[in-house]
């Protein structure tokens, strides 16, 4: 699947330093995650680079089984990799230390969210992830792959 640089830029919290250095994420401003410098290369090329794509894919590919089989993964997806430093009950590393809270929260809001979504669909309107009315069909949250 092709993803446009604009889409990548919109979904990745890039970090741009004062000297033009661009990093994959504002939580990973380290040499390993430096994409390049916008004074030497166009920002679009850096955002669409294989390195940045791999950074995004790693969020999915490094999820422990506990997350991959989680009933609220569609909403949580393991959250930010910087917070994945504890082990699952089975001892697999890579679990988010905030897991219990996320699981409780997303289960708690599941019913009201479904009610809200059904209401929007009945009225021919959808909502984006921020809850803003879009006038478009509602988003299928189960289809989220990242
Ligand atoms: S709630 Fe916990 S197990 Fe489920 S996806 Fe999030 S971090 Fe993983």
The per-residue pLDDT for range 112-140, each reduced to its tens digit, is 888 888 888 888 876 554 444 444 444 44
**What dihedral do alpha carbons 25, 29, 32, 33 form, nearest 10°?**
20
Is residue 101 within a helix (H) or strand (E), and if so which, with residue range?
helix 99-122
3-state SS class at 52:
helix
Ligand 1 within 6 A of CB of 59: no
* Whole-number Å distance between alpha carbons of 78 and 34: 23
* Whole-number Å distance between alpha carbons of 87 and 68: 14
The per-residue pLDDT for range 61-106, each reduced to its tens digit, is 999 999 999 999 999 999 999 999 999 999 999 999 999 999 999 9
Residue 64 alpha carbon, nearest atom of ligand 1: 8
Dist. CA 73 → ligand 1 center (Å): 6
**Which residue has its alpha carbon closest to ligand 1 atom 8?**
67
3-state SS class at 1:
coil
The per-residue pLDDT for range 31-62, each reduced to its tens digit, is 999 999 999 999 999 999 999 999 999 999 99
């Amino acid at each position: 699947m092709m993803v446009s640089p604009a889409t990548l830029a919109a979904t990745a919290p890039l970090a741009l330093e004062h000297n033009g250095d661009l990093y994959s994420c504002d939580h990973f401003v380290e040499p390993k995650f430096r994409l390049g410098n916008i004074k030497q290369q166009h920002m679009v090329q850096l955002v669409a680079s294989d390195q940045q794509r791999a950074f995004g894919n790693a969020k999915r590919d490094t999820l422990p089984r506990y997350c991959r089989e989680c009933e609220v993964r569609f909403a949580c997806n393991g959250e930010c990799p910087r917070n994945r430093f504890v082990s699952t009950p089975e001892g697999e590393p890579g679990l988010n230390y905030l897991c219990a809270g996320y699981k409780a929260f997303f289960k708690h809001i599941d019913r009201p969210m479904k009610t809200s979504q059904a209401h929007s669909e009945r009225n021919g309107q959808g909502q984006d992830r921020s809850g803003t009315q879009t006038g478009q069909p509602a988003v299928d949250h189960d289809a989220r792959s990242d």
